[in-house]
């Protein structure tokens, strides 16, 4: 029987598994020396910038907004085509998300439409690198600087990607990463934020753990409202086993993406992603199905063929939570069209070229 091929699967080696066992035996399993080591390695990968870890990419985004000074009454511009956490965190801090439609080619926020959405209440922009394809950082920061806006890069999907040869996280304002189980590098669950300077470290650490500041042997003070967002040493040890393999993972993902382009049947009338092999980390390989195809039936048929297919993502402004805030169908036609037809095909480092061929052949049969 042909084994099931999931749309993603983490690659965790035996040394990492043994390392996690050592952490469990150590008796120190919450935030401790492994977290410090993980943050130090992340800092090295981000050009020496200050980095602090969290228990999720969502927590990193929420704290990032607080560090940027976003509060009740402010507006934050972002894309409607992302995991819903991108906008949920804006609501969490009391602000209002302002959506801007996507570029139909890149499926990222259309930066040419951003300025029309800026108002006196706009405080920040959250761009999202969908599937690991970076948003144009030059244009993004030109807009932000001209309008004096903060940028919180939602780079949850783009760890290991770059912009014109510069690693994401090594430059820019606030940069949030995710190390969820389906990400290119994982901690099982986890996240991190890269800070624009060391001066934000004390506040970042307080916001991460209940606003607490400790001093001396027994001193404790709380002067801000924080959350419970710290990463555990167990999770950090998984991440420490993953980070040395980042270049290997990225290279393999790019090779698999090339194989998809080479084997995909162009007559199927699907829209493929941009062929970016320099900057994208190929977190996902996403195909936009023809409008004649019912996506649910495609997914079910692929599952019958033993192949997992994901949906990343529906246009979030059409969820009930955001409809209640006034958004309606038709507001962002490009995002809505992509959100209705997009599917994520299997792509992870342990895949073989034969696996890619199997996916392409199955998709051709189903779509025909």
Please list the active-site residues: 183
Tally of CB atoms within 10 A around 37:
15
- Rounded to whole angstroms, the Cα distance separating 89 from 96 reads 10
Half-sphere exposure of 275 (CA within 13 A, CB side): 6
State whether the Cα torsion 199-204-207-210 is positive or negative: negative
What are 228's strand-pairing partners? Answer: 209
Query: Is the separation of the CB atoms in 58 and 208 below 8 Å?
Result: no
Show the tokens assigned to 111: 């930066």
Q: Which residue has the tokens 């290119």?
A: 184
**C-beta contacts of 271-278 below 8 A and 24+ residues apart:** 273/107, 273/131, 273/133, 274/105, 274/106, 274/133, 276/133, 278/162, 278/165
Show the tokens assigned to 96: 């209002």
């Amino acid at each position: 029987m042909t084994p099931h091929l999931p749309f993603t699967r983490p690659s965790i080696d035996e040394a990492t598994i043994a390392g996690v066992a050592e952490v469990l035996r150590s008796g120190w399993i919450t935030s401790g020396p492994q977290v410090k080591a993980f943050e130090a390695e992340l800092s090295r990968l981000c050009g020496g910038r200050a980095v602090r870890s969290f228990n999720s990419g969502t927590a990193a985004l929420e704290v990032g907004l607080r560090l940027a000074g976003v509060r009740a009454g402010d507006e934050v511009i972002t894309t409607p085509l992302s995991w819903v956490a991108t906008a949920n965190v804006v609501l969490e801090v009391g602000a209002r998300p302002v959506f801007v439609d996507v570029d139909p080619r890149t499926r990222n926020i259309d930066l040419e439409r951003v300025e029309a959405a800026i108002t006196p209440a706009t405080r920040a922009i959250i761009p999202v690198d969908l599937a690991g394809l970076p948003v144009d950082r030059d244009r993004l920061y030109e807009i932000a600087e001209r309008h004096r806006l903060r940028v919180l890069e939602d780079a949850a999907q783009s760890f290991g990607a770059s912009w014109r040869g510069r690693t994401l996280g090594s430059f820019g304002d606030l940069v949030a990463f995710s190390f969820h189980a389906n990400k290119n590098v994982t901690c099982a669950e986890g996240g991190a934020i890269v800070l624009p300077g060391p001066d934000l470290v004390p506040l970042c650490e307080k916001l991460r753990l209940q606003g607490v500041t400790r001093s001396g042997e027994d001193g404790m003070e709380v002067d801000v409202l924080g959350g419970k967002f710290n990463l555990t040493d167990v999770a950090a040890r998984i991440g420490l086993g993953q980070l040395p393999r980042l270049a290997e993972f990225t290279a393999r993902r790019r090779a698999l993406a090339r194989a998809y382009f080479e084997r995909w049947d162009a007559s199927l009338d699907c829209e493929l992603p941009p062929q970016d092999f320099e900057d994208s980390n190929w977190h996902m390989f996403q195909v936009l199905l023809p409008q004649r195809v019912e996506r649910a039936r495609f997914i079910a048929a692929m599952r019958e063929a033993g192949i997992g297919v994901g949906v990343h993502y529906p246009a979030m402004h059409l969820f009930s939570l955001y409809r209640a805030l006034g958004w309606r169908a038709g507001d962002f036609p490009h995002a809505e069209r992509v959100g209705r037809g997009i599917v994520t095909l299997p792509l992870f480092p342990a895949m073989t070229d034969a696996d890619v061929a199997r996916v392409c052949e199955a998709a051709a049969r189903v779509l025909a």
